[in-house]
Copies of this chain bind each other. A is one copy, B any other.
């Protein structure tokens, strides 16, 4: 079926955010509308953002700017490591997180554990620009299981553990990937010098409490923790990330080290991440710093007191 650039029909996907704000996306065509055992999966062709993925009605990534989200998530945590060979990915069903990890030529093995095999199968078929064949890279082992359970059972250790989970929604499966207990588990599977990275919820001025809670909880588990953020236009929001380690990450994040690392690993041709984008992401607006420092904002997240966003 031929797709028109502009339809007279006004088909909008409305992303209501807690009933007080909403983003509207103009839909050209529903590519996939289904439900896996874990979540509702919607793949749309939109005007402006191109192909786009929504899980449980929440925007995940779009053709226009998925590279910003995925490069922001991956390159800091791998640059922070001196020589990442073995990487563990939690979630990341679209395959784009995997794609970015594989760009680092030091990487010899990636274990990716995403619980939702339906999502991964649909991504393989319909999100080719995301994974770009990454699932077929011989360095990759793909597992469909609960990632936390997998980590608990495995005796394997890694240089970097990266969490690309969905939001911790009420009653959803991701909540136990944002707790102090999980962070300690992940740390226990890190080799010496290992780094931990994760998506860490929105950092916009209206709603950055969840981000502050994540950073505070990480700081109880790791010696060195960095909060950073990147604007994701598809979300209409700046999005927070975190990188953590027991090593001194700061030394890895000087302009010279970043530039040299990207050069050595064959990552000089990234679409978003480079030295200046790094500085942009890691120099935080005052309100984010204040939220993180304010003892009255956020909480330490535990298995018995999980973080819930709406």
CA–CA, A29 to B43, complex, Å? 10
Apart from A21-B24, A279-B283: 9 A-B pairs, beta carbons within 8 A = A2-B34, A11-B27, A48-B206, A64-B206, A204-B231, A236-B237, A270-B286, A273-B286, A280-B284
Closest 10 CB pairs of A and B: A236-B236, A8-B57, A22-B24, A279-B283, A20-B48, A280-B283, A9-B57, A30-B30, A20-B47, A10-B14
Closest to A6 in B: B19
**A24–B27 CB distance below 8 A:** no
Knowing A33-B1, A205-B68, A283-B283, the reply to whether A40 touches B10 (Cβ < 8 A) is: no
Partner of A30, one of B29, B48, B271: B29
Q: List 10 A-B contacts (CB under 8 A).
A: A2-B35, A7-B57, A9-B40, A9-B56, A11-B12, A11-B13, A23-B23, A27-B27, A49-B206, A276-B283
Interface residues of A in 113-170 (CB under 8 A from B): none
A268 → chain B closest CB, angstroms: 12
A55 → chain B closest CB, angstroms: 9
Residues on B with beta carbons closer than 8 Å to the beta carbon of A23: 21-24, 236
**A10–B57 CB distance below 8 A:** yes
CA–CA, A280 to B56, complex, Å? 33
Q: Which secondary structure characterizes the binding site on chain A?
A: mixed
CB of A250 within 8 Å of the partner chain? no
Partner of A14, one of B12, B230, B231: B12
**B16–A10 CB distance below 8 A:** yes
CB of A257 within 8 Å of the partner chain? no
**B289–A285 CB distance below 8 A:** no
**B32–A1 CB distance below 8 A:** yes
Partner of A27, one of B30, B204, B277: B30
